Structure 1
Amino acid sequence: MASPGFGKRSAPDQAPRGRDDFAHLPTREAYIAAHIDRLPDGAAVDIKTLAKELPAYGQQAVSSALKALNDAGHLRRIRRVVGEGRTQWVSRWFFSRTARDNAWWDAFLARTEGPPAAPAASAPLTEEPPQQPPRPQPQSTCSQAYIALATLGCSDPRLTLSAAECAALEALAAEWFARGITPLAFARILTHDLPDVVQCPGAFTRKRLIDRVPPLLPPAAQAEPVPPARPSQPRWMMECTVCGIPGPPEALPDGLCRACRGVEPPPDRPDPADVRTRVTRLRAIARGGGSPGT
């Protein structure tokens, strides 16, 4: 199986499995397609893994077969972020036993931009281990002030407080929050410019809570300005099935990049300055009766 989030994903609305599902494909492609079709969701279907699982075919043969499955409409590869607010990307291979055209794949992939779903189970439900009901989590009764004190050590280990110290300082910290301070500002002020060694974090924090208590503000001034929202990054993009280069769907028709489709890149346009220099030389040669080689 691939790592969580990676691997094969079955496309929806496929025809029931039958003997002639891949009869329209050449022998090698039909064999590899049938192998992928039998794999459970979440299984690794990259070129190296398939070449290890199918001794009759090497990596080059598997790569060519996957390209053919793209052309036939059975396979697409995408790159997608793991979850909300995270930057890790994973590769997923969507497989359809039923051949689909580009329009179907584009519409289907456009619907995958929501939060990632858990891999669909491919084994019968009777074989699944019994699901244990989630254990109820105890509700936290700690105040905002207590939590802010308890997490000071996360901002700077020198101010790691014990439970007794957090309880003793809770009232002083609560006064800060009553004056409109935020948890982020609370931690920033208390951990700013600390000495190299704090011998007694509890006593040190008590002194700072008293000495640096923020002033009372009128209600209208207590609300902090909301920072502008960061532009959301795309949650998924297509990948070339053969080489893995990412790009938008319109840049990868049939799931393949230009190079893997065998399309030559457009020739580079000459530099205008070089063109002008060349024209000037030719004119000078023409006026002098010489030749370009002189």
Structure 2
Amino acid sequence: MAYENSNAALPAPAAHPMAKPGYGKRSAPDQQRRKPADFQHLSPREAYLASLIDQLPENAAMDAKTLAKAQPLYGQQAVRSALNELGRAGHLRRVRRRIPPAQGETGTRWVFHTFWSRTARDDEWWAGTLEGDVTPPEAGTKAVVADVPPPSEAYDTLARLGLRDPRLALSAADCTALEELAGEWLARGTSPDQLSQVLVAGLPDQVHSPRAFVRRRLVDRMPPERPAAPAVRVARLLVECIDCGVPGRAEALPGGLCRACAGRDGGAEPVPTGRQVRDAQAWVEEIRAGLIRA
């Protein structure tokens, strides 16, 4: 039938919509060079869509609705089923990755990507690769570039000392020279307000060298280092079911699909392990021996 024509002309990748920052296509590492036979092992529908996806740029939208609109042959349901099959074949995984909040932000932030591999990979390769992956800056976003870096919290605390007491008014050069010492106080758990109080408390009538005076107090009254908190491992990455989006560890989603979606979509039955085969054989032999004795 016409819709099974995997040689149909593909739309130009440049016209494909891009995903929102933090979403979209991301190419897996260690890709082999593109060859005409890359997707010959797939059925015509999957081979056609794989060729389309393979040509899309980084951060291109990868949801079934967008991919259905991007080509003339298959609707959303067909695309969704094809994505499931591409996951089973080892070409595709969906992930959500925890990233640290930006300065001034609180709470957990996640980025969502659909990883694509032109080369088919097994579940073990995907699990190891995704766990070790580092998310680069989002394509299409502009980095904030300044001629002078923003002042640190330590620098800002030192610069404001003169507002608390004019006897400790420091120059920009003074703040820069003392910034590392003040930063060590903050790193050991002292708040900026507590640090300021320590530095301005009990000042003499005259401070002839504010820089030298502040340095001496920073050195002499340095608080002890806090004991390291016990490390708590927090999952940095979760693989999502390609079909329903339920998150889980990579090893819990073989083929990129959860158990429910793999069964509902007519996936192949799991291949028994060698131990399961041996156990079954032993069970059969035991039944046979019982029948003979009977």
Give TM class, smaller chain.
0.5 to 0.7
CA 1:21–1:250 in 2, change beyond 3 Å: closer, same or farther? same
Is 1:233 matched up with 2:234? Answer: yes
Distance in 2 separating the partners of 1:73 and 1:218: 58
The reply to whether residue 62 of structure 1 matches residue 62 of structure 2 is no
Residue 16 of structure 1: how far off its partner (Å)? 2.0
Q: Structure 1 residues 118 and 225 mapped into 2: Cα distance closer, same or farther (>3 Å)?
A: closer
1:99 aligns to what? 120
* 1:101-116 aligned within 5 A: 101-112=122-133, 114=134, 116=135
Contact 1:9 1:119 in 2 (8 A): no
Q: What TM-score do you get using the length of structure 2 for normalisation?
A: 0.58
User: After the TM superposition, which residues 270-289 of structure 1 pair with which residues of structure 2 at under 5 Å, given as runs?
Assistant: none
Q: 1:137 aligns with which of 148, 154, 177?
A: 148
8 Å CA contact 1:41–1:119 kept in 2: the answer is: no
Cα distance, 1:107 vs structure 2: 2.5
Give me the whole-angstrom Cα distance separating, in 1, the residues matched to 2:185 and 2:97. Answer: 38
Question: In terms of mean alpha carbon deviation, does 89-98 or 99-108 score higher?
Answer: 99-108
8 Å CA contact 1:146–1:167 kept in 2: the answer is no
Change (3 A) 1:223 1:84: same
- Gap change, CA 1:166 and 1:49, over 3 Å in 2: farther
- Report the TM-score, using the length of structure 1 for normalisation: 0.58
**Aligned residue runs from structure 1 range 150-161, under 5 A:** none
Q: Quick check: which has more Rg, 1 or 2?
A: 1
1:15 aligns with 2:17: no
Q: What is the aligned partner in structure 2 of residue 81 from structure 1?
A: 98
Q: Distance in 1 between matches of 2:110 and 2:97?
A: 5
SS at structure 2 position matched to 1:40: coil
What CA distance in whole angstroms lies between the structure 1 residues aligned with 2:169 and 2:138? 49
2:63 is matched with 46
Q: Which residue of 2 aligns with 1:259?
A: 260
Q: Report the AA paired with residue 168 of structure 2.
A: A
Residues 1:259 and 1:170: Cα distance change in structure 2 (over 3 Å): farther
Trace 1:156-167 onto structure 2 (pairs within 5 A).
Answer: 166=163
SS in 1 for 2:93: strand
Deviation (angstroms), 1:55: 4.0
C-alpha RMSD of matched pairs (Å): 4.2
Residue in 1 that maps onto 2:41: 24
Query: What is the SS of the residue equivalent to 2:37?
Result: coil
Structure-1 separation of matches of 2:259 and 2:45: 24
Distance 1:188 1:230, change over 3 A: farther
Q: How far is 1:6 from its partner?
A: 2.0
Aligned length: 214
- Contact 1:146/1:166 (8 A) holds in 2: no
Change (3 A) 1:221 1:110: closer
**Aligned mates of 2:76, 2:166 — CA distance in 1:** 65
1:120-135 equivalent positions in 2, closer than 5 A: none
CA distance in 1, matches of 2:123, 2:90: 7
Q: Distance in 1 between matches of 2:58 and 2:195?
A: 50
Q: 1:9 is aligned with what amino acid?
A: R
Shift in Å, 1:19: 2.2
Identity between Structure 1 and Structure 2 (%) = 42
